[in-house]
Structure 1
Amino acid sequence: MEQLNPSDLKAILHSKRANIYYLEHARVMQKDGRVLYLTEAKNENQYWNIPIANTTVVMLGTGTSITQAAMRMLASAGVLVGFCGGGGTPLFMGCEIEWMTPQSEYRHTEYMQGWIQFWFDDQKRLEVARQFQLARIEFIRKVWDKDRDLKAGGFYLDDLDIQNALNGFEKKIPNLNKVGDLLLAEAATTKQLYKIAATHTGSKDFSRNPEQGDLANDFLNHGNYLAYGLAATTLWVLGIPHGFAVMHGKTRRGALVFDVADLIKDAVVLPYAFICAKEKMTEQEFRSQILQKFIEHKCLDWMFDQVKAQACRTHDVDGDA
């Protein structure tokens, strides 16, 4: 069998990779130069291949284990690995997944250097936070305008309540002079979008509570952590440490992952959490739907574009993600 070099495994740009894996009750191992996961069927064990060259993140849920050889191959292909609780969310709510990132000394340093140039200046950091929120609104409009499944689920961009929520937030952003004020306005807008989504899908008395246990809240938790996986991948590839957040707080380790995930969460995860809950989908069906939409709307590309644009605001950077 032909052996692949680590450089061959990275041939697909991270911004174009298609797969995120969430596994539970499985053993991940290396066999014959491939990464496989083993599941126990009724009468036999079954092996399934993970195409690591086209994978961004592997999330290991309850009852999983992984071998050192498999981790070595995943690192060679630039795949991030995270241990998480059942359903792709942490065992303790509010605690981010601890991402294990491949050790690579050959990624671009320009993006990190560009990020650092503005990060220590409060006003410049606030401006980047504003730009992220404007990009978030732009992506909601872009996705909700063209997604036929969303329209079939009752989400129309030209509905007055949706227009009012997005336009109102957009007009406030330039006038908010503190990160705390921006966070409050962002939280109020997301709350409006929750209410709109609940109304449009007939979900009565919905309130956002990660520990509530109803389908909509569970799907929001699950989808958000899939988005965190994409965000962590984006930042790792560009070489920007997760602690250099622009909105979620300088004291919270990993907060930049949340900033970047917010670029796409409301556009994709939020509406589909409510639609899939209304249709009483299983967790696996919801996950498949979200991952399909991440690919359809090029969410990873959008994250790369926005982060690179902010890192390069003061200078040009060559190279591709």
Structure 2
Amino acid sequence: MEQLNPSDLKAILHSKRANLYYLEHCRVMQKDGRVLYLTEAKNENQYWNIPIANTTVLMLGTGTSITQAAMRMLASAGVLVGFTGGGGTPLFMGCEIEWMTPQSEYRPTEYMQGWMQFWFNEAKRLDVAKQFQLARVEFIRKIWSKDRDLKDYGFYLDDLDIQQALNGYSAKVPLQSRVGDLLLAEAATTKLLYKIAATRTGLKNFSRNPEQGDLANDFLNHGNYLAYGLAATTLWVLGIPHGFAVMHGKTRRGALVFDVADLIKDAVVLPYAFICAKEKMTEQEFRQQILQKFTEHKCLDFMFDQVKTQACKDHDVEE
């Protein structure tokens, strides 16, 4: 059977889609490349097809369950999935394509309001993006200077190539006048860090390609998604929607998640993706290692502190 691309599933604009489903007492699953729901009749089970490419919302009421494979296909098609009580209310949890967030309206408002005070001003938004990048470099310095496991693999903060990469980026950040230039400088620095990590772990001819399929690239993908999970949690708890990004927001709807995840990705995920690839670890072993390091280095605390600092400070930037 021909495999559909996620882009094909989103071909029908959401504004033109015809279907919204509320289901009860059934099981939603993926079978033969389609999303189905299974109902249990007296003498037989019956399958019903859900045309996901033409569906906007799927609401799952009492007595329902859904498989991971079905959830993945629904996400690819851009279908909003919500878990509800009987009759479609109340909404317990809604999935905004990437993350499921409990729908509580009783989260703090101060951080969202603080974020909004600067967000509509381009110069102030750029300044916050710069502050995030400088904090990112400082976090790399902090972690790489004290993590013994990294030192065992030759990641010494005072090595010339590491110093040049970090100092060079720290010097460039304040000079950037546009977000696009800051993104270019960030990409160049991350490329240097990939080279440094590949050299330390003896990985020759590495190139960053999420589709490549080699261990280092796979572990980078996997570790980055774990970092996105921490970032999404941080923003949800503080009540700041993912769309109010300071750096990545031109094309990605959930871009603030990427901005916040970048605070810790290079310090922890990047080196350990290469180290675990060198050690030929399994995906589960890599995940355990990364989660342990997230805890050890208080990555979530760091994210909270940085976001709260930017939301609560006075942003006096010259126009």
Q: Same fold (TM over 0.5)?
A: yes
2:241 is matched by which residue type in structure 1?
Answer: P
Root-mean-square deviation (CA, aligned residues, Å) is: 2.5
What is the rounded CA distance, in whole Å, between the counterparts of 2:160 and 2:283 in structure 1? 32
What is the rounded CA distance, in whole Å, between the counterparts of 1:147 and 1:177 in structure 2? 35
Q: Is the 8 A contact 2:94 2:103 kept in 1?
A: no
Q: Which moved more, 1:273-282 or 1:105-114?
A: 105-114
The residue that corresponds to 1:249 in the other structure is: 249
Q: Is the 8 A contact 2:83 2:94 kept in 1?
A: no
Q: Secondary structure at the match of 1:157?
A: coil
Q: Secondary structure at the match of 1:185?
A: helix
Q: What does the per-residue CA deviation read over 1:271-299, in whole Å, with 9 as the maximum and x for residues that have no partner? A: 00000000000000000000000000000
The residue that corresponds to 1:174 in the other structure is: 174
Q: Is the 8 A contact 1:244 1:250 kept in 2?
A: no
Report the alpha carbon displacement of residue 104 of structure 1 after superposing the two structures with TM: 0.8
Q: Secondary structure at the match of 2:99?
A: strand
Q: What does the per-residue CA deviation read over 1:66-116, in whole Å, with 9 as the maximum and x for residues that have no partner? A: 99599xxxx98xxx9979xxxxxxxxxxxxx61111111111101000101
Q: What does the per-residue CA deviation read over 1:125-157, in whole Å, with 9 as the maximum and x for residues that have no partner? A: 000000000000000001000000111122111
The structure whose RCO (Cα within 8 Å, separation 6+) is larger is: 1
Q: What does the per-residue CA deviation read over 1:198-248, in whole Å, with 9 as the maximum and x for residues that have no partner? A: 011000000000000000000000000000000000000000000000000
What is the rounded CA distance, in whole Å, between the counterparts of 1:231 and 1:225 in structure 2? 10
Q: Secondary structure at the match of 1:252?
A: coil
Report the alpha carbon displacement of residue 63 of structure 1 after superposing the two structures with TM: 7.7
Q: Normalized against structure 2, the TM-score is what? A: 0.70
Instruction: Specify every segment of 5 or more residues in structure 1 that has no aligned partner in the other structure, as ranges.
Output: 1-26, 28-59, 84-96, 316-321
Q: How many residues align?
A: 237
What is the rounded CA distance, in whole Å, between the counterparts of 2:128 and 2:143 in structure 1? 22
Is structure 2 residue 288 aligned with structure 1 residue 288? yes
Q: Which moved more, 1:101-110 or 1:270-279?
A: 101-110
Q: How does 1:252-267 map to 2 (within 5 A)?
A: 252-267=252-267
Q: Secondary structure at the match of 2:265?
A: helix
The residue that corresponds to 1:228 in the other structure is: 228
Q: How does 1:208-223 map to 2 (within 5 A)?
A: 208-223=208-223
Q: How does 1:100-111 map to 2 (within 5 A)?
A: 100-111=100-111
Q: Is the 8 A contact 1:216 1:277 kept in 2?
A: yes
* Bigger Rg, which one: 2
2:247 is matched by which residue type in structure 1?
Answer: M
What is the rounded CA distance, in whole Å, between the counterparts of 1:63 and 1:151 in structure 2? 43
Point out 4+ residue stretches in structure 1 off by more than 4 angstroms: 60-70, 80-83
Instruction: Specify every segment of 5 or more residues in structure 2 that has no aligned partner in the other structure, as ranges.
Output: 1-26, 28-66, 73-80, 86-90
2:109 is matched by which residue type in structure 1?
Answer: T
CA change 1:207–1:103 in 2 (3 A) is same
Q: Is the 8 A contact 1:243 1:250 kept in 2?
A: no
